[in-house]
Amino acid sequence: MKRNKLVAPVVKWVGGKRQILDQITKYVPKAFSTYFEPFLGGGAVLFELQPRKAVVNDISNELINIYQVIQNSVDELIEDLKKHQNEEDYFYEIRRQDRDRIKYEKLSPVERASRIIYLNKTCYNGLFRVNKAGEFNTPFGNYKKPNIVNESTLRAVNLYFNKANITFTCQDFEYALKGARKGAFVYLDPPYDPVSDTASFTGYDKGGFDRYEQIRLKKACDKLNNKGVKFLLSNSATDFIKDLYHNYRIEVIQAKRAINSKADRRGVINEVLVMNYE
């Protein structure tokens, strides 16, 4: 399938891979059957590779809803996005919608997708974050001209989603990987192991991802390896992660931290790419 350069992430997501795509893609196998990505996030790698067949997953139902709406109702989504205003009072009015769950559940999938895209484009630093109750809690960004209605990208992604064979799921990563068979390729981009006691960010979902989850993910990678499925995993270059995956090939790369609420904590950091092939 011919690659469309207009296909790109529609939301900014914590841990997004746009700035290191060239470092990631050079390690992607040249040929594979089905592409799996159990921690989809902003989808930068998916949109770069544009595989013909893919099973993609994220634990955030709001995020998966966005992708399903783009696939099935892009015209309605674009029209709904046009109603939003780049004003502080309006921003907080829209942000408050998920505080009343009864009313929020009455929003259509298009309205929910439009809300999240709008908040993502206008909130501070594009930081999608929810509290323990699952409520969006990032403040207003006060940007002059945010690109709320990126119609060309939305339509390009819609076209890709409908030309390719894409399956969206919203479940635990282990379940999302159950269909992977020999010949498939899995890219894993989990919430990163924190580089310090204060560096952890798991606020994209009310659940969280601690070291127990990292160990559980490593066991899932072992299962993929035993089935002959090639996997490539991104994570922070902590001693814990390097020790956890010491039996696999590890490449250390440098990445620029794109999202952080504190400017002095943005900069170049080491990350690892772990893979079970040469």
Q: pLDDT at residue 207 above 60? A: no
pLDDT in tens, 56-99: 999 999 999 999 999 999 999 999 999 999 999 999 999 999 99
Task: Write down the mean pLDDT value for the chain.
Answer: 91
pLDDT for residue 98? 95
If pLDDT is split at 50, 70 and 90, which confidence band does 262 have? low
Domains, in order of start, for the chain: 18-60+172-275 (3.40.50.150), 67-151 (1.10.1020.10)
pLDDT for residue 127? 82
pLDDT for residue 203? 47
pLDDT in tens, 3-41: 999 999 999 887 778 889 999 999 999 999 999 999 999
Please choose, from the candidates 77, 11, 19, 69, the residue with its C-alpha nearest in 3D space to the C-alpha of residue 40. 11
State the average pLDDT over residues 255-275.
71
If pLDDT is split at 50, 70 and 90, which confidence band does 198 have? low
Q: pLDDT at residue 104 above 70? A: yes
Alpha-carbon distance of 228 to 214, in angstroms, equals: 21
CB-based contact 263:226 (threshold 8 Å): no
* Whole-structure pTM value: 0.91
pLDDT for residue 266? 55
- Could you tell me what percent of the chain has a pLDDT over 90? 81
